């Protein structure tokens, strides 16, 4: 099965059955991502080389304004889209099979986790993978140790407080905190 077929299935939200040809392609792609992460995290890497490795990982050009402080891991890599002036701090982990879109001017705090896959709840299908995208709008700030779960959209200018677990959409220009994250106030963007 081709990577393009897998990406089409993931982006359509199709279940990826355990042991299927699509699952095998996902595993092969993950091995490539782990190799790139190994190079990225093996010692000091110049900023231009970091962006070059991110381009290899994602299969898309990464803007010269993107900054990433390793270590960083993505267990698939090919379904990440980064805007301009994005900053990703050290220790972040992206599970991107379902698709991660990070808008311009976003700040991702230390040790943030963005997950886009769930497993089927039924015991006989527990190995099946259920993709759902995560979308961060423009100028979103995720604090340190934030976890964003599959299918969540965070609106422009929103802030997610450190240690929060985001289980549902967060509207634009709001601050959400806690586990599960709840909106505690709006931000005046005027």
Secondary structure letter of residue 170 according to DSSP:
B
23, 27, 110, 119: which is the annotated catalytic residue?
119
CA-nearest of 155, 10, 167, 180 to 96 is: 10
Nearest-10 crossing angle of helices 21-41, 3-11: 100
Within 40-180, strands assigned E span: 67-68, 72-74, 80-82, 87-88, 92-95, 100-102, 107-108, 113-115, 117-119, 129-131, 134-136, 141-142, 147-148, 153-154, 159-160, 165-166, 174-178
- Enter the tokens of residue 154: 């965070």
Between the alpha carbon of residue 96 and those of residues 37, 99, 150, 153, the distances in Å are 14, 5, 10, 14
In angstroms, the CA 13 to CA 126 distance is 17
119 is catalytic: yes
Chain Cα centroid distance, residue 147: 10
Catalytic residues: 119
């Amino acid at each position: 099965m081709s990577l393009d077929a897998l990406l089409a299935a993931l982006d359509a939200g199709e279940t990826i059955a355990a042991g299927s040809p699509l699952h095998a392609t996902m595993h092969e792609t993950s091995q490539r991502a782990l190799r790139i992460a190994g190079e990225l995290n093996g010692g000091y890497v110049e900023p231009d080389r970091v962006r070059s490795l991110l381009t290899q990982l994602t299969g898309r050009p990464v803007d010269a304004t993107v900054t990433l402080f390793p270590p960083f891991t993505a267990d698939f890599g090919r379904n990440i889209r980064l805007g301009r002036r994005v900053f990703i701090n050290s220790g972040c982990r992206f599970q991107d099979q379902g698709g991660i879109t990070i808008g311009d001017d976003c700040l991702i705090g230390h040790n943030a986790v963005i997950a886009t896959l769930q497993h089927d709840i039924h015991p006989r299908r527990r190995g099946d993978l259920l993709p759902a995208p995560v979308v961060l709008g423009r100028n979103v700030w995720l604090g340190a140790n934030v976890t964003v779960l599959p299918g969540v959209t965070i609106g422009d200018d929103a802030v997610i407080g450190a240690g929060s677990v985001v289980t549902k959409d967060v509207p634009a220009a709001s601050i959400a905190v806690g586990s599960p994250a709840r909106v505690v106030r709006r931000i005046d963007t005027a």
